[in-house]
Amino acid sequence: MTGMGLMIGIQTERPAKDIVAECREKGVLCLTAKDRIRLLPALNIPMDLLQKAVSVIKEACANL
């Protein structure tokens, strides 16, 4: 993982575009940055939404 503050880049084994598409289908918006997934949540994101998004992203990353 790389980044500053809440701006995070995640290196994955699967292509980032595939993970982003899977997250988008489940209601979580994220972007790609070269070969990484880029996250840039609002600074005032409620903890419950953050936990839900992390759960969706982890699930998408685990699906090989």
In this prediction, residue 4 has a pLDDT band, given cuts at 50, 70 and 90, of: low
Q: Give the pLDDT score at 24.
A: 96
Q: What is the CATH number of the domain that holds 32?
A: 3.90.1150.10
Structural domain span for residue 47: 2-62
Mean pLDDT of the chain: 89
Q: How many domains does the chain have?
A: 1
pLDDT higher than 90, residue 8 = no
HSE at residue 2, side-chain half, CA atoms within 13 A, is 9
Q: What is the pLDDT of residue 63?
A: 82
> In sequence order, what are the beta bridge partners of 33?
36
Q: What is the DSSP letter of 8?
A: E
Q: Reply yes or no on whether the pLDDT at 2 is more than 70.
A: no
Size (the chain), residues: 64
